[in-house]
């Protein structure tokens, strides 16, 4: 029994086998978090589109039993002013294994720490998977946007997102500066009296589990390369470590061999016999390469902050964060969510593009093995864009477009199925 969560009586739980494959019943219970801001606009549209695709694909033999769970502002209204992430929401996300969420607000500077990050950390969803692909007809700032076809594996549990930091002038900051100076001989804090400090943990274990998933994805999806993106020239032990441990893992676990003297290395895809190049790129150079030579990059493995920046930058290349989906995953639990945030200026206006969350749901259906329903969503998205009935973000850049609302775009997708 939960305090504020109603379990749909008709549904069953998805369960996980020892090899991490899923047992998906005909009516799986899928927990969802509506989200703050535009979450209230896009989440109902996503549910409607998914229900329509599932109905069309399986004619009533399969259905989703949606189960709302609360986080963010909605949680504070039900559980109390300070309860942003109720324990029962975390329990449900763990127990029901597959879920989807709208965006949650994080204040800048003070206030609560990110609930989005907290969810990933509490559930140890160490992979943030963000595929970036082009749909024909989407307005893009690039001449050949179709050349951008990448899948980002962003490390989701470490780096400065660990949230270990001290405010400028605080007792903690002063103590840490004194310790660094006295015990470790650090003399390079330029303004010790007024510095805020943060720690950036990056581990061998955290790197290896992320890079392992990225290489396995390249093998399973017959991709030509995995690029480790880092700033290891400056942050030698954290980001440089990520690069070195990533290369070492490719050699030790996947049999990659040095290419042209290294550090790049190459392995044969055991499933297709084709080469997979493991390479690396320094993050600033990478951000210009993805604009100038996007076709040279395929699977990207990177640290948490780099992955955050790269996600939005790559999304822009294929038309913006209105259609940028994602998933946060451990070996057993997966929580799907859009790349974008709560876009507060548009909240409650039935205005924004629900495409990111709908495409996140498409990833969720595929993860569940419901690929027929997922295919219907992808095909409908392609046709809707070609028909030029699109939300404001595309309409403002497209000639001859008919602008539709957030819910209107959902209707267009359903018509196209």
Ligand X SMILES: NC(=O)C1=CN([C@@H]2O[C@H](COP(=O)(O)OP(=O)(O)OC[C@H]3O[C@@H](n4cnc5c(N)ncnc54)[C@H](OP(=O)(O)O)[C@@H]3O)[C@@H](O)[C@H]2O)C=CC1
Q: Mark the binding-site residues for Mg(2+), compressed into ranges.
A: 308
Is 383 an annotated catalytic residue? Answer: no
Residue 344 Cβ vs ligand X, minimum distance, rounded to whole Å: 6
Among positions 340, 361, 373, 380, the unique one binding ligand X when judged by CB under 6 A: 340
Residue 308 binds Mg ion, judged by CB under 5 A: yes
How far is residue 86 from each of residues 72, 75, 91, 97, 108, measured CA to CA in Å? 9, 7, 9, 17, 22
Q: Give, as ranges, the residues between 53 and 112 that touch ligand X (CB under 6 A).
A: 103-106
- Give, in degrees to the nearest 5, the angle at Cα 326 between 321 and 329: 155
Q: How many angstroms separate the Cα of 378 from the Cα of each of 48, 296, 356, 360, 372?
A: 15, 25, 12, 11, 10
Binding residues for NADP(+): 105, 340-346, 353, 392, 396
Say whether residue 342 binds ligand X (CB under 6 A): yes
Active site residue 260: no
393 binds ligand X (CB under 6 A): yes
161 is catalytic: yes
Cβ contact 154:302 at 8 Å: yes
State the DSSP code for 130: E
- Cβ closer to Mg ion: 105 or 269? 105
With contact defined as beta carbons under 8 Å apart, do 38 and 103 qualify?
A: yes
Q: Is 308 in the site for ligand AKG (CB under 6 A)?
A: yes
Question: Which residues sit in the known binding site for D-threo-isocitrate?
Answer: 114, 116, 120, 130, 154
Find where tokens 């504020």 sit.
4
Q: What number of chain residues touch ligand X (CB under 6 A)?
A: 19
CA gap 377, 67 in Å, rounded: 21
- Distance, CA of 383 to CA of 366 (rounded, Å): 20
Distance between CA atoms of 22 and 18, rounded to whole angstroms? 9
**What is the token pair recorded at 379?**
């095909």
Which run of H or E residues covers position 403?
A: strand 402-403
Dmax over Cα atoms in the chain, in whole Å? 71
306 near ligand AKG, rule: CB under 6 A:
no
The yes or no reply on residue 304 touching ligand AKG (CB under 6 A) is no
Scan residues 394-413 and list those touching Mg ion (CB under 5 A): none
**Annotated catalytic residue: which of 32, 96, 161, 217?**
161
Chain position whose Cβ is nearest to Mg ion: 308
Does 129 help bind ligand X (rule: CB under 6 A)?
no
> In the annotation, is 280 catalytic?
no
**Given the residues 222, 275, 284, 331, the one annotated as active site:** 284
Residue 114 binds ligand AKG (CB under 6 A): yes
The binding site for ligand AKG (CB under 6 A) comprises 106, 114, 116-117, 308, 311, 339, 341
Catalytic residues: 161, 231, 284, 308
């Amino acid at each position: 029994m939960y305090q504020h969560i109603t379990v749909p009586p008709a549904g069953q739980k998805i369960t996980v086998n020892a090899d991490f494959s899923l047992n998906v019943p005909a009516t799986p219970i899928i927990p969802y978090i509506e989200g703050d801001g535009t979450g209230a606009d896009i989440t109902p549209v996503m549910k409607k589109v998914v229900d329509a695709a599932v109905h069309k694909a399986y004619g009533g033999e399969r259905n989703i039993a949606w189960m709302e769970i609360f986080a963010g502002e909605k949680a504070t209204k039900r559980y109390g002013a300070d309860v942003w992430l109720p324990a029962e929401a975390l329990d449900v996300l763990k127990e029901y294994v597959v879920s989807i969420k709208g965006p949650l607000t994080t204040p800048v500077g003070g206030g609560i720490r990110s609930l989005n990050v907290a969810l990933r950390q509490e559930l140890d969803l160490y992979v943030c998977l963000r595929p970036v692909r082009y749909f024909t007809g989407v307005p893009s700032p690039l001449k050949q946007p179709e050349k951008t076809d990448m899948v980002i594996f962003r490390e989701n549990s470490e780096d400065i997102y660990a949230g270990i930091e001290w405010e400028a002038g605080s007792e903690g900051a002063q103590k840490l500066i004194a310790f660094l100076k006295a015990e470790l001989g650090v003399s390079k804090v330029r303004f010790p009296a007024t510095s805020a400090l943060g720690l950036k943990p990056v581990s061998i274990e955290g790197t290896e589990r992320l890079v392992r998933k990225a290489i396995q994805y390249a093998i399973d999806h017959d991709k030509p390369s995995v690029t480790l993106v880092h700033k290891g020239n400056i942050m030698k032990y954290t980001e440089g470590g990520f690069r070195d441990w990533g290369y070492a893992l490719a050699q030790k676990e996947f049999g990659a061999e040095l290419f042209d003297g290294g550090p790049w290395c190459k392995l044969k895809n055991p499933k297709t016999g084709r080469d997979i190049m493991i390479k690396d790129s320094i993050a600033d150079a990478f951000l210009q390469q993805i604009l100038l030579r996007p076709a040279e990059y395929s699977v990207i493995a990177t640290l948490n902050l780099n992955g955050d920046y790269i996600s939005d930058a790559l999304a822009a290349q294929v038309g913006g964060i209105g259609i940028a989906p994602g998933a946060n995953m451990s070996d057993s639990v997966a929580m799907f969510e859009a790349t974008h945030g709560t876009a507060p200026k548009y909240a409650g206006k039935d205005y924004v593009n629900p495409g990111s969350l709908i495409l996140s749901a498409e990833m969720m259906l595929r993860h569940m093995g419901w690929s027929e329903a997922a295919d219907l969503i992808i095909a409908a998205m392609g046709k809707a864009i070609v028909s030029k009935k699109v939300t404001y973000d595309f309409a403002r850049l497209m000639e001859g477009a008919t602008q539709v609302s957030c819910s209107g775009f959902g209707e267009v997708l359903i018509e196209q199925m």
